[in-house]
Structure 1
Amino acid sequence: MVIKSPPSERKAKAEGSDLKSICNRAIKPNSEWIEKDDFLDVIYWARQIIGILVGIVMGIVPLKGFIALALFAIMNCAIIYFYCTSFQSIDEESYGGMWEIIKEGFMTSFACFLVTWIIFYTGIHFGNVTEKIN
């Protein structure tokens, strides 16, 4: 028995909502985003990548405390803001304002950053941490 998808799903797939098309539009400047959710998905996953990369860098460079947390938040928001406004030139009002775009996926990105930062910092600088305790 073959289950057919509704016409609306077939139409969305035909318009290019597949992964390859989304990735191509994400790296191409001034792309046209037919589906708003596709662009928000790109923002979400870009934030996860940013969170992991910044966590690795801040774990290797022994940054800690409020400075590292503040730097992460500033870098993460700034990169996404400039990607949306300068690289993609989107109309922020069609997405509910820039605040909606800025907060898209921020907390999960923050969680990825924290896990990566803690793992790398502890793995690389563990000897320094135990020497200070003793």
Structure 2
Amino acid sequence: MSSKSRSPDGANKNKSKESLWTKAFSTKTDWPDKEEFLDVVYWMRQAIGIILGLCWGLLPLKGFLGLLLFVVVNAAVIYFYVNNYQNVDEEEFGGMWEITKEGFMTSFAGFLVTWIIVYTGLHGSNSL
């Protein structure tokens, strides 16, 4: 027997997943399920990591400057999204530090892989 509990209104569960996109892109949304909001922050970070990796790879950014800019831009975008766009009470989610570190390391890994591949592909032959 499975320990997984099923919701009696399975159809409504699918509608709530569809409306997650709407909630993520709407301003000042009410987030009764804290995990949904943290999931949105997590996946937003993953997208930011890939996009910044592409940008940093297209620009010939190297070294500590690229890493520092990634950290600053990534944290600033999430901070702006949480405080100004969604206007959530950060204490409900464990404070701003908990929200800021949500998905950071996986975003950083995706950023590094994308940055290295794009930079090497475009600018790697110039260093030979």
**TM-score under structure 2 length normalisation:** 0.91
Distance 1:32 1:11, change over 3 A: farther
Q: Aligned match of 1:88 in 86, 89, 93?
A: 86
2:51 is the counterpart of 1:53: yes
Amino acid at match of 1:67: L
- Structure 1 runs, 4 residues or longer, greater than 2 Å off: 9-17
**Helix, strand or coil for the counterpart of 1:17?**
helix
Q: Aligned match of 2:60 in 55, 59, 62?
A: 62
The offset of 1:11, in angstroms, is 5.5
Q: Aligned match of 1:27 in 25, 28, 38?
A: 25
Tell me how many residue pairs correspond in the alignment: 125
Contact in 2 for aligned 1:58/1:121 (Cα 8 Å): yes
**TM-score under structure 1 length normalisation:** 0.87
Give the RMSD, CA atoms, in angstroms: 1.8
* Larger CA Rg, structure 1 vs 2: 1
**Helix, strand or coil for the counterpart of 1:6?**
coil
Structure 1 residue aligned with 2:127: 129
Provide the rounded CA distance (Å) in 1 between the counterparts of 2:70 and 2:36: 25
The offset of 1:13, in angstroms, is 6.7
**Helix, strand or coil for the counterpart of 2:35?**
helix
Amino acid at match of 2:25: I
What is the CA deviation profile of residues 34-77 of structure 1, one whole-angstrom value per residue up to 9, with x for unaligned ones? 10000000000000000000000000000010000000000000
Long gaps (5+) in structure 2: none
Q: Aligned match of 1:39 in 37, 40, 50?
A: 37
**Helix, strand or coil for the counterpart of 1:75?**
helix
Distance 1:37 1:116, change over 3 A: same
Provide the rounded CA distance (Å) in 2 between the counterparts of 1:103 and 1:78: 12
Amino acid at match of 1:50: I
Distance 1:92 1:64, change over 3 A: same
Provide the rounded CA distance (Å) in 1 between the counterparts of 2:51 and 2:88: 25
Contact in 2 for aligned 1:17/1:38 (Cα 8 Å): no
